[in-house]
Amino acid sequence: MQRTSVVLGIETSCDETSAAVVDDGRLVRRCVIGSSKHTFVSSGGVIPEYAARQQVEAILPCVHEALTSAKVTAADLSLIAVTACPGLLGSLLVGTTTARVLSAVHAVPLIGVHHTLGHLSSTWLSDGPADDEPKFPILTLSVSGGHTDLWFRTSHTRGTLLGSTIDDAAGEAFDKGAALLGLGYPGGPLLAELAEKGDESFFAFPKPLSKDRTLDLSFSGLKTSLKYALRDLPAGTIDSGTIRADIAASYQYAIVHQLSDRIERALALHTDCKEVHVVGGVSANRRLRQEIDERAQKHAVRVRYPVALRYCTDNGAMIASAGYFLRQERPQSMSDRCETKATDDLRTLLAA
Ligand code: KG4
Ligand code: ZN
């Protein structure tokens, strides 16, 4: 019988500190996620120096808890996978330094993982035994606070970038919209919650790049439209009735419409796609899921999201999974790569 590959995944690219133990790239034994986001509410965003300092404190207890509650020791590990790029440099260094030391002390192989490749693997994760393996080719929308990309993937480590945002990421549009509406940070979940009570046909936000056949996206104009829409409201109206919720719902719909529209355009071009996957923080959005499900149904294609909301946003389990598949598919080229970089081009990695 083949030995189970037990992988420790570490993710510290932004303000989360996460460590997870995953078997064979799929079964999550334990995923610990600590966030310091609540401390940033007043500043409206992440303060890099502050995030890294908190991660220095949090990382060893987090790894320790992941290992002990998964009932494994370092000696049981087959691999340590860590986010190497892109991200906040100080934060990345906390994760990669920890991973390097653990790897050297316990003689466990180490692999550096691109953060977005982690999100792309998050649809493989499960909390219990799962025999329903996703099938390539897969059209994947990876949509978070830092990126918005549409991929055509033929394996875990091969694929083509079909389209990408030309300015802000969709999560950034949620966060900036939430800030303009006077909500907290991170704005996505808060704006989504408010939007549930509103009428999304209340205000017609622009539909960028809608006349082209491009698979690229654009969100920065939406934020500007929202700013002017709020400025032009008669004084005091924002707090009357459901206006704030109506504007939130209309703004959310403009983001959702654009994302689901690009998926539909891509499905029309790539009829051999077996599945559509939607990953990253924004994939937690209920309205987005509803719209994408409806559109994919017309093309008779199955849609998958991460099985739990904690695997949509940043987490160590997706890094463990990506590291496992990376090592399997590219043992020579990738197995000892763990250079920390602020950015790296996943397109080049997946095309090679
Ligand atoms: O993937 P992620 O945790 O971090 C990055 O790699 O950026 O994504 C965070 C982003 C934030 O912009 C957050 O506002 C957004 O995901 N987000 C949501 C929802 N939950 C998180 N956006 C819309 N609706 C949600 N329910
Ligand atoms: Zn992310």
The DSSP annotation for 247-295 comes to HHHHHHHHHHHHHHHHHHHHHHH-TT--EEEEESGGGG-HHHHHHHHHH
Q: Which atom, in ligand 1's list, is nearest to the CA of 309?
A: 20
Residue 108 — left, alpha, or beta (φ > 0 → left; ψ -120 to 50 → alpha)?
Answer: beta
Which ligand is located closest to the Cα atom of residue 11?
2
CA 34, 39, 44, 47 dihedral sign is negative
Neighbours of ion ligand 2 (CB under 5 A): 144, 314
Model pLDDT, residue 231: 94
The full DSSP string for 16-38 is: EEEEEEEETTTEEEEEEEEE-GG
Taking the CA of 187 as reference, the closest ligand is: 1
Residues with CB under 6 A from ligand 1: 14, 144-146, 171, 174-175, 186-189, 192, 280-282, 284-285, 313-314
| Atom nearest to 169 CA in ligand 1 | 12
Q: Are 17 and 34 in contact (CB under 8 A)?
A: yes
For the chain, what percent of residues have pLDDT higher than 90? Answer: 79
Please tell me the distance between residue 145's alpha carbon and the centre of ligand 2 in angstroms: 7
pLDDT tens digits for 204-255? 998 888 887 899 999 999 999 999 999 999 888 888 889 999 999 999 999 9
The closest-lying atom of ligand 1 relative to the alpha carbon of residue 192 is 24
Give me ligand 2 centre to Cα 115, in Å: 6
pLDDT at 43: 55
> Which of 137-151, 157-171, 226-240, 315-329 has the least mean pLDDT?
226-240
Nearest alpha carbon to residue 49 among 6, 102, 89: 89
CB 178, CB 184: distance < 8 Å:
yes
pLDDT, average across residues 73-87: 95
Measured in Å, residue 222 CA sits from the centre of ligand 1 at 17
Pocket perturbation via mutation, ligand 1, pick of 113, 147, 252, 313 by most ligand atoms within 8 A of CB:
313
Statement: residue 273 has pLDDT above 80: yes
CA of 92 to the centre of ligand 2 (A): 13
> How many angstroms separate the Cα of 286 from the Cα of each of 75, 292, 326?
41, 10, 31
pLDDT at 40: 53
pLDDT surpasses 50 at 335: no
What the block records as the tokens of 140 is 């994947």
Give the model's pLDDT for residue 15: 86
Is there a cis peptide before residue 48, judged by omega within 30 degrees of 0?
A: no
Q: Of 16, 33, 282, 315, which is best to mutate to test ligand 1, by the most ligand atoms within 8 angstroms of its C-beta?
A: 282
pLDDT at 337: 56
Compute the distance from residue 96 Cα to the ligand 1 centre, in Å.
23
d(CA 258, CA 328): 35
**Per the structure block, which two tokens stand in for 271?**
């009829």
pLDDT of residue 92: 95
Tell me how crowded residue 155 is: count the other CB atoms within 10 A of its CB: 14
Res. 161 pLDDT band, cuts 50 70 90 = very high
Pocket test for ligand 1, best of 142, 144, 292 (most atoms within 8 A of CB): 144
The pTM assigned to this predicted structure is: 0.94
DSSP state of 3: P
In the predicted model, is pLDDT for residue 44 greater than 60? no
Mean pLDDT, range 281-288, rounded to an integer: 98
